[in-house]
């Protein structure tokens, strides 16, 4: 018979989880509740007075065609960032998982971009793709004849912030995919290889299905990242211009809040 473990005091489990509960209530649920309450209020610029206006704020934002367009564009942007970053993260993790020399060094270098701040990431890509001095932008104009200008052209800015945001997130996906790949029993891969399955067939029949929980988790996390954590990249690349409102819901909401 298995002996059941029990706390000496019935209050001890609640005491142990109390810090986490307090942190969650203070920094997650309380701000969310305050945000919900504030959405039904109309305040003066200094927040000294406010009045209850029911659904006036919601009606105002959904009457704004630019706001509705920014929602659609943000959805498109988030799907693009998630697709690019997850695909490249999985590809790099698959390559790095093989027996290579200096594997630890390679993995460390691949993880570094995740430590770069969003604004710095935007600046790095702006140096590469700026229409006046960007090496890549000048090469595109010289060899392809394309007048690349992410500062003024909304589509160019969309492509650029998608690349910058995806590049920063690749390292995050790489870490989780590496952990998932290392957890797959090598005996399954070896057995499939003995049966004559090609590397492509082994990946889609064995590796990818076993990585599906990791894939689902990263899909959710990357979409959340695209929605809420790319403000620095977008603001840096677009120089805070009004055209950025068409690209990002976060930029549009910030400008509305500050009445700029």
pLDDT tens-place string over residues 39-53 = 787 776 666 777 777
Question: Could you tell me if 21 and 128 lie in one domain?
Answer: no
103-143 pLDDT per residue, tens: 667 777 777 777 777 777 778 887 887 777 777 777 877 78
44 lies in the same domain as 153: no
pLDDT at residue number 260:
44
199 with 215, same domain: the answer is yes
Q: What is the CATH number of the domain that holds 124?
A: 1.10.3720.10
For residue 7, being part of any structural domain is answered with: no
Q: Which range marks the domain in which residue 99 is found? A: 63-258
Question: Does the model's pTM come out above 0.75?
Answer: no
- 217 domain residue, yes or no: yes
Domain total of the chain: 2
Cα–Cα distances (Å) from 178 to 18, 53, 107, 174, 215, in that order, read: 34, 51, 9, 6, 12
Q: Convert 150-162 into a string of H (helix), E (strand) and C (coil).
A: CCCCHHHHHHHHH
Residue 146 and residue 28 share a domain: no
Q: Indicate whether 79 and 186 sit together in one domain.
A: yes
Domain assignment present for 4:
no
Which residues on neighbouring strands pair with residue 131, listed in sequence order? none
């Amino acid at each position: 018979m298995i002996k059941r473990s029990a706390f000496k005091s019935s209050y001890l489990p609640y005491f142990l989880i109390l810090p986490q509960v307090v942190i969650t209530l203070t920094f997650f649920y309380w701000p969310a509740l305050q945000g919900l309450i504030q959405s039904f209020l109309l305040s003066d610029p200094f927040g000294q007075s406010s009045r209850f206006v029911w659904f006036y704020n919601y009606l105002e934002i959904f009457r704004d065609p630019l706001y509705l367009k920014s929602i659609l564009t943000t959805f498109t942007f988030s799907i693009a960032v998630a697709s690019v970053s997850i695909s490249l993260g999985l590809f790099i993790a698959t390559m790095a998982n093989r027996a290579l020399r200096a594997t630890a060094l390679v993995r460390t270098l691949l993880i570094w971009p995740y430590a770069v701040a969003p604004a710095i990431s935007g600046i790095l890509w702006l140096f590469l793709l700026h229409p006046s001095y960007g090496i890549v932008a000048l090469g595109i104009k010289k060899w392809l004849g394309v007048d690349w200008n992410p500062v003024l052209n909304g589509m160019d800015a969309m492509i650029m912030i998608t690349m910058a945001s995806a590049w920063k997130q690749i390292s995050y996906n790489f870490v989780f995919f590496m952990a998932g790949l290392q957890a797959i029993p090598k005996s399954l891969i070896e057995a499939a290889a003995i049966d004559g399955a090609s590397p492509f067939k082994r990946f889609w029949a064995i590796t990818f299905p076993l990585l599906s929980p990791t894939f689902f988790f990263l899909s959710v996390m990357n979409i959340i990242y695209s929605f809420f954590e790319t403000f620095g990249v977008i603001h840096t690349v677009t120089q805070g211009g009004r055209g950025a409102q068409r690209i990002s819901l976060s930029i549009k909401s910030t400008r509305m809040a500050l009445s700029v």
